[in-house]
Structure 1
Amino acid sequence: MKRILQDNSGVALIVTILIISLIVSLTLQFNISMRSDLHAAANLRDGIKLGYIAKSGFNCALAVLREDASEGNVDSLLEAWADLKTLSDNSGALFYEGWFQVEVLDHSGRIQINKLVEGSQYNDTQRKLLTRFLKSPEFGLEDEEVENIVNAVKDWIDLDDEVTEGPGYGAESGYYQGLDKPYVCKNAPVEFIEELLLVRGVTKGLFYGTKEKPGIASYLSPYGDDGKININTAESLVLKAFSDRMDDQMVEDMVAHRKDRNNDLSDPNWYKTVPGMGDVTIAEDLLDASSTNFEIVSEGFKGAMAKRVTGMVKRTGSKCDILSWKIE
């Protein structure tokens, strides 16, 4: 028995194995940690690169807008800023790794939602425009729903706390504070178009659209201070909302007229030269042939990674001021 207790060779072997196992475990853990740090550093590096690539696309679009301003004050979808596909397709040649895709969206071709109200009163021309727009069959709204939404948008923007009535009903803070997650009515101009999601009657389906129906978001803008819409760049649903007498065929003919480079689009009343539209009258204070407010969306790519830069730009003459800026 004494001899067995004095034999420690087996214990030494076990201790050695435990130490080796611990060293191997620590080494593997250190290796994993180093690899994680390496990947994180690489992602950070690529993220920075993508940000600069996207910003490069944004600045290229700015340069195109400035150049366009020097060529005249008429804007249409036939101009370089409206089709930057060639620039995007060739952007890979500008970088060692990566490329960008950039597009310019004309907000001057959209309905200026804040011009619906002047002080605490309706701008009647803008009210009729927005009402006709929301009554488009594509949105699938009943007449009563449209009237309620228009009134609710007015109440969101106007300066008072009086609920707008007739026809339909608007909504002030009394309604919004009764919701499960209460908030107050803004009673001020819309700053970002997503604010409309807070307005009674404007659902996510109506705002963003569904597989079957378009959304209203891409036809409205919080930017602009005169209520005028560039007839040369407005979407078909906006064109149709210009007058009660507009029909789908007229809109198609107007779009075809705009695509013909031989046609003069400098006078916004060119629509009267379109066959069948000689008797149609559109309110003069709705029409323009030039654009001021643009949204630039530039996305940088490197392999499977991407980063987007979105900015709103106000162009005055050849000067472009950035109104808002977002990196995603």
Structure 2
Amino acid sequence: MTIHAIAAWQRPLRNSHGMALLIVLSVVSLIVVLTIQFNKNMRQNLVTSGFAGNTIKLETMARSGINLAMAVLDKDTKENDYDSHLDSWALLGQENLSPLFDEGLLTVDITDNNGRFQINSLVQSKSEAQTDQSPQQANALELATRNVLRRLLRNEPFALEDSEAKTIIDSLVDWIDADDGDWEQELGAESSYYQALKTPYPCKNGPIEFIEELLLVKGITPELFYGTKDHAGLARLLTTQGTDGKININTADPLLLQALHEDLTKQMADDMLAFREDANNKEALASTKWVVEVLPSLSGQNGLKNITVKSSSFTVLAQARLDSSQKKIIATMQRDSQKTTLLQWKVE
């Protein structure tokens, strides 16, 4: 056999070795790719599993915060029969609750809804909750609550024109009352107004259930509701809970205190705030009479109307944090002399 013949015979063998090497390299590459993808999937599963585990822990922590708030409110009822920012429920947000858990952080804040303006109190005579008063009494209370809101809107920092404030109040009355057009307020709005908007919707003609509903009402802008870079919004001063219009002067914001009377100035509201935040005056807060001690001019016929020092409705914010995750529960609670009841809650 010649040399050329031998070379020709060996060439296919070399080609076969090359093909086998390519196959081996392809298989190895495929295994490497599959291994990398498997590792990615495993890491993703571990992250997802860890996230799910954190979510469960966070919600459990937040739920425990809600239960803690209920227990604190119940305990407060046994300690005294009035409410102020010097009570244990108001100081709960300052407590260190970290020893309750192996890991993570929990904060629980309780806000007194009776220290806010009851938006549904604007319509008294048609309120089903008000069955123990005459139409005359209901109308008088209705007028009083509307005047409080008017002053709140007219005062700083909102400083609305009187016509703007009246438009908002009239529109709120039309939004809440059961009539649809029969008794439309002078500057208010019924369904005919809302149905003519670019994105139409009906007038509710019923009590406001969620404070965000106010953004649907004529005259209320996002800037007024949420606030601006210069001041906080109106929303934090309002509540959907309650219809008797009573405001707890021990917990109300100074802006709301100032709106309680036409003669009340910012300085007078600040004086009220300073008095009630002083621990030495805690016992005096058991009665509304402390106002006259601070502001002698507001006494007798010129005194503050429809005020209280006892609260029955509260909002609880329980926030749980673990690593970079967090969960919060916002709950509304109703309290009487017997117990605290959870009315509603939402998880965020």
Same fold, judged at TM 0.5 (above)? yes
1:132 equivalenced with 2:140 (yes/no): no
State the partner residue of 1:17: 25
Query: What is the alpha-carbon distance in structure 2 between the residues aligned to residue 107 and residue 85 of structure 1?
Result: 16
- Aligned residues of 1:232 and 1:258 also touching (Cα < 8 A): yes
Root mean square deviation of aligned Cα: 1.9
TM-score (norm 1): 0.93
Aligned AA (1:274): V
State the partner residue of 2:167: 148
State the partner residue of 2:343: 323
Instruction: Measure how far apart 1:5 and its partner are.
Output: 5.0
State the partner residue of 1:292: 312
Point out the structure with max Rg over C-alpha: 2
State the partner residue of 1:172: 190
Query: What is the alpha-carbon distance in structure 1 between the residues aligned to residue 297 and residue 260 of structure 2?
Result: 12
Structure 1 residues 212 and 222, CA gap change in structure 2 (3 angstroms): same
Instruction: Measure how far apart 1:69 and its partner are.
Output: 0.5
Q: State how 1:188-267 maps to structure 2 within 5 Å.
A: 188-263=206-281, 264-267=284-287
Instruction: Measure how far apart 1:203 and its partner are.
Output: 1.2
Query: What is the alpha-carbon distance in structure 1 between the residues aligned to residue 342 and residue 323 of structure 2?
Result: 29
Deviations 1:133-174 (A, max 9, x none): 1111201322211111111111110111126344xx111111
Q: Secondary structure of 2:261's match?
A: coil
User: Which stretches in structure 2 are left out of the alignment for 5+ residues?
Assistant: 1-6, 128-137
Instruction: Measure how far apart 1:132 and its partner are.
Output: 0.8
- Aligned residues of 2:116 and 2:239 also touching (Cα < 8 A): yes
Query: What is the alpha-carbon distance in structure 2 between the residues aligned to residue 321 and residue 38 of structure 1?
Result: 40
Instruction: Count the aligned residue pairs.
Output: 323
Structure 1 residues 71 and 183, CA gap change in structure 2 (3 angstroms): same
- Aligned residues of 1:295 and 1:313 also touching (Cα < 8 A): yes
1:94 equivalenced with 2:100 (yes/no): yes
Query: What is the alpha-carbon distance in structure 2 between the residues aligned to residue 86 and residue 147 of structure 1?
Result: 40
Query: What is the alpha-carbon distance in structure 1 between the residues aligned to residue 87 and residue 288 of structure 2?
Result: 17
Instruction: Measure how far apart 1:282 and its partner are.
Output: 3.9
User: Which stretches in structure 1 are left out of the alignment for 5+ residues?
Assistant: none
Deviations 1:189-229 (A, max 9, x none): 00111110111111111111111122011111010132111
Instruction: Measure how far apart 1:252 and its partner are.
Output: 1.2
Deviations 1:245-265 (A, max 9, x none): 100111111112212334312
TM-score (norm 2): 0.88
- Aligned residues of 2:298 and 2:304 also touching (Cα < 8 A): no
Structure 1 residues 127 and 275, CA gap change in structure 2 (3 angstroms): closer
- Aligned residues of 2:174 and 2:185 also touching (Cα < 8 A): no
Instruction: Measure how far apart 1:47 and its partner are.
Output: 1.0
State the partner residue of 2:179: 160
Aligned AA (1:213): H
Query: What is the alpha-carbon distance in structure 2 between the residues aligned to residue 172 and residue 288 of structure 1?
Result: 34
Instruction: Measure how far apart 1:28 and its partner are.
Output: 0.7
Query: What is the alpha-carbon distance in structure 2 between the residues aligned to residue 287 and residue 101 of structure 1?
Result: 31
Query: What is the alpha-carbon distance in structure 1 between the residues aligned to residue 296 and residue 287 of structure 2?
Result: 18
1:301 equivalenced with 2:321 (yes/no): yes
Q: Which of residues 64, 78, 87 in structure 2 aligns to 1:56?
A: 64
Q: Secondary structure of 1:22's match?
A: helix
Instruction: Measure how far apart 1:274 and its partner are.
Output: 1.2
- Aligned residues of 1:309 and 1:325 also touching (Cα < 8 A): yes
- Aligned residues of 1:250 and 1:276 also touching (Cα < 8 A): no
Instruction: Measure how far apart 1:99 and its partner are.
Output: 2.0
1:66 equivalenced with 2:74 (yes/no): yes
1:273 equivalenced with 2:273 (yes/no): no
Instruction: Measure how far apart 1:85 and its partner are.
Output: 3.8
- Aligned residues of 2:171 and 2:185 also touching (Cα < 8 A): no
Q: State how 1:98-109 maps to structure 2 within 5 Å.
A: 98-109=104-115
Instruction: Measure how far apart 1:278 and its partner are.
Output: 4.1
State the partner residue of 1:119: 126
Q: Secondary structure of 1:265's match?
A: helix
Identity among equivalent positions (%) equals 41
